[in-house]
Structure 1
């Protein structure tokens, strides 16, 4: 390694260069082989990147992929968002329209991860930070993304979560989860309250035709009373924004 380089920083950048070279998900063993580093070191690095939302992890293939958050980091270098066919523009516009916190999330294992957040500018607000992990079945974002899986897989994920739960009273009730999943499938969105954060609520839906190969969900978070009083407005604003974004992406891809 070149003199003056911090080993862990250089390895992180080399990891992303590996993904750029192969342009596909990679497992720990593949990264170890490509980079020639100890498996223990690679596992620790990937665990850290996963916790911060810089990579996605597929439990089925046990492979990692750079997350949408990585792609968003350099957006400002290209002059910032310029049109409706831009994810950041849509998130920022939705925040400006509603005045509330806008969340972009993905599944990482059995947790929902907020990979980009535009926080509310109101005094009483739902404050979040990018990279936060939440139990997937206790968040609107997680429930929306779980609805894309088949029932058998959802059942396996619930059992896995319950196996890792320390207190029996915190166990997930499969009947309740499946009722919420069905609500998402029927309505195209879900409204939750007091799940991951007491006093807060979220309206969430699937981000169709998004920039990632992995499903993404988008939500609007606010204090629960504001979710209740503004339910129709928030649902309409969210679904309209997602619809316009998907249409813009389709038009651009067809051009």
Structure 2
């Protein structure tokens, strides 16, 4: 975690920064350890944040991000502008495929899910709006990683942790996959984030050609190179093209 100055605001941000995709529920002692603050200081800040609604206390004395902070985050431009433009196209894609549809952006070295339309209830989908998931184990993540800067790539490759037995943790294999993503214009995963699910994703570009997001769908495992895969890629490309045409011009 990035060190923050020992100011009141810095300490508050250190506590909030203790939460991430792998640490969504933390006890007071864990918050103190991850924030680098004393237990006394952490206790005071957590009490203030809880009273304001930025954190919520659970029955087991752990803390999670509160509804008020969540609502505030929804005001970020990446949430309001991109989601508003993409929403009708995502719903059309869901109607056509009956699959869970995702819209994600790069946030640090993770994929931040900014919208989701739920599909088949029987599939074990772990994503939710606002959740951050690894780049190397998700379809949208591989698209974003394939077009990310060298600092993001280096950090991601330094920590290729397995989420399932099918996760790609070999740097050479992943590098080859990312090269293929750039060449073919789409990415896929095969049970790499969650057993029993595959995903396909395509990039979403702004008016300058830069990749600003990724659109993906989660489906049951399928045969690679099958007509089903080809139809999913086609549907995603149509969706991405519609969103791109509707995005406001880059200033």
Give the equivalent residue in structure 1 for 2:201: 204
1:42 and 2:39 correspond: no
Query: Aligned partners of 1:225, 1:214: CA distance in 2, in Å?
Result: 27
Give the equivalent residue in structure 2 for 1:215: 212
Kindly tell me: are residues 54 and 187 of structure 1, through their superposed partners in 2, closer, same or farther at Cα, counting changes over 3 Å? farther
Give the equivalent residue in structure 2 for 1:68: 78
Alignment of 1:207-246 (within 5 A): 207-209=204-206, 215-225=212-222, 230-246=228-244
Give the equivalent residue in structure 2 for 1:101: 100
Query: Aligned partners of 1:97, 1:47: CA distance in 2, in Å?
Result: 40
Query: Aligned partners of 1:101, 1:171: CA distance in 2, in Å?
Result: 22
Q: Which deviates more, 130-139 or 145-154?
A: 145-154
**For the Cα contact (< 8 Å) 1:126–1:223, is it kept in 2?**
no
Q: Which deviates more, 221-230 or 86-95?
A: 221-230
Kindly tell me: are residues 124 and 229 of structure 1, through their superposed partners in 2, closer, same or farther at Cα, counting changes over 3 Å? farther
**What runs of 5+ residues in structure 2 fail to find an aligned partner?**
25-64
Give the equivalent residue in structure 2 for 1:247: 245
**For the Cα contact (< 8 Å) 1:119–1:126, is it kept in 2?**
no
Q: How many residues align?
A: 193
Query: Aligned partners of 1:90, 1:184: CA distance in 2, in Å?
Result: 22
Query: Aligned partners of 1:188, 1:243: CA distance in 2, in Å?
Result: 13
TM-score normalised per structure 2: 0.63
Q: Alpha-carbon deviation of 1:101?
A: 0.5
**What runs of 5+ residues in structure 1 fail to find an aligned partner?**
1-26, 56-64, 76-80
TM-score normalised per structure 1: 0.62
